[in-house]
Structure 1
């Protein structure tokens, strides 16, 4: 609104419109749950539909898709910690926001390392992270924990009355997350996989977005957000380490694999792909 003083000086002031925080109800749970489905579950499932195309590619391109996956995950990790540093500025110093992020990241890294160890022991001599469903599941878990943070951002935007921002985040994250299905698929290109397995992977990768929208809408807090962002970042770093270790177990070091032009191209394509789709969120 405008305020004009007696001397004719004009002052323009902007007053934020107060909005009520949504209360927990079946209707609100349904609405924010659907937002999570649209943003996380459906895009990941759409990404999984690339499987027939990937299988039509020559087997020699397998390393390219694994490298592309590492590029995708590296971007997600950097983006997650970048967002965490932004939130740190809003957290009181006595809460030590950096330690909250570290707590979530280290906890997630150790938890997934333990899960990977259990899967390895059950698989006997065949490392669970080396190929197939075991590695795809680890990637889906890491992506799912990252998507939990995306759901938090969307739910919080609507809670704070930033409807336009929330709507834009939905559009941006929806397109952004379709690329995550590619990352989950890369270990399955040469494996026999059922539609039931793909459905499970899609739920693991996209389902946490629903939990994130609920949490952001009804119980959002910056300290809690830092913990969740740390969990997402730590999980992704652990999955990257599994991919690197799988390369070492195949008899070729990560540095030797990276020196191949096709693998370098995969890393760059994965990173650039996430960057370009991420512009839809940042814009």
Structure 2
């Protein structure tokens, strides 16, 4: 932590988002070891990532946003409400860019070609929502530069927590892209390259987010709550449904993962923050 404090916020954001990209690549690399992954394991991974993101969205983003809004003599619930809703709506608009009708059709077809088509569409979908995820990390690190000297250590811990949370949810996403491509007949290397490429936008978005927040301090509580809204949207739209879909009747595996992820992140945030 002390070493990270020697770098500028945008550099910290770059290191953090390179980490989240690396975790995406690590998940994609499972294609070299497995052609399939047991549904229970995937349900646990998706659920765990969702639980981590839900906990981090409050303790690492919304709670600091509320405190900052109070310090700036603003109406906390209004500031946080606007930012949170904007984050979720931004992800909703991003999802609409992908032609969902084709994705649904591909899911109903049984051929390997349909599976490849579905996975490639998933690459674009995940890439799109990785942009605001990168922004979320960048915003969290950009907040360090805007905070007072006494608050910088706590803000660094919060930002690191956000990066870890997003990195954890990137792991099953990388596997969820690469393994279906492999099952569809694509080579292991190409499947891996498609999977890891979905996280390549995060370092760019992270640096932009850090620079924006560092230069416009008044946007900080909005930006933090925006990032929280984006994370909740991803958890509810992508991770939780995917976790339940993996096990169908045995949905308790997804629930166990969500509870474990939430509990771990809550304990870390409260104990260390």
Alignment TM-score > 0.5, same fold: yes
Relative to 1, partners in 2 of residues 1:256 and 1:81: Cα closer, same or farther, differing over 3 Å?
A: same
TM-score, length of structure 1 as denominator length = 0.65
Equivalent residue, structure 1, for 2:237: 238
Instruction: State how far apart, in whole Å, the 1-side matches of 2:192 and 2:163 are.
Output: 22
Instruction: State how far apart, in whole Å, the 1-side matches of 2:265 and 2:84 are.
Output: 27
Equivalent residue, structure 2, for 1:133: 120
Equivalent residue, structure 1, for 2:56: 79
Query: 2:16 aligned to 25, 36, 39, which one?
Result: 39
Aligned ranges 1:174-213 → 2 under 5 Å: 175-187=164-176, 188-192=178-182, 193-194=190-191, 196-213=193-210
* Contiguous gaps of at least 5 residues in structure 2: 1-6, 108-113, 183-189
Task: Report the CA distance between 1:258 and its aligned residue.
Answer: 0.6
Instruction: State how far apart, in whole Å, the 2-side matches of 1:147 and 1:268 are.
Output: 27
Equivalent residue, structure 1, for 2:185: none
Task: Report the CA distance between 1:281 and its aligned residue.
Answer: 6.0
RMSD over aligned CA atoms reads 3.9
Tell me if 1:120 matches 2:101. Answer: yes
Instruction: State how far apart, in whole Å, the 1-side matches of 2:165 and 2:124 are.
Output: 20
TM-score, length of structure 2 as denominator length = 0.67
CA contact (8 A) 1:142 1:239 kept: no
Relative to 1, partners in 2 of residues 1:137 and 1:276: Cα closer, same or farther, differing over 3 Å?
A: farther
* Contiguous gaps of at least 5 residues in structure 1: 1-29
Equivalent residue, structure 2, for 1:107: 89
CA contact (8 A) 1:169 1:281 kept: yes
CA contact (8 A) 1:77 1:237 kept: no
Tell me if 1:150 matches 2:127. Answer: no
Equivalent residue, structure 1, for 2:111: none
Query: 1:272 aligned to 239, 257, 260, which one?
Result: 260
Equivalent residue, structure 1, for 2:251: 258
Instruction: State how far apart, in whole Å, the 1-side matches of 2:195 and 2:248 are.
Output: 31
The structure 1 segments of at least 4 consecutive aligned residues displaced by more than 6 Å after TM superposition are none
Instruction: State how far apart, in whole Å, the 2-side matches of 1:71 and 1:277 are.
Output: 10
Task: Report the CA distance between 1:38 and its aligned residue.
Answer: 0.5
CA contact (8 A) 2:137 2:163 kept: no
Q: Name whichever structure is richer in helix by fraction.
A: 2
Answer with 1 or 2: which has the greater Rg.
1
Instruction: State how far apart, in whole Å, the 2-side matches of 1:141 and 1:271 are.
Output: 27
Q: Paired residues, what number?
A: 241
Equivalent residue, structure 2, for 1:88: 66
1:110-136 CA deviation, whole Å, 9 max, x = no partner? 3144234x1433x57204999523335
Equivalent residue, structure 2, for 1:229: 228
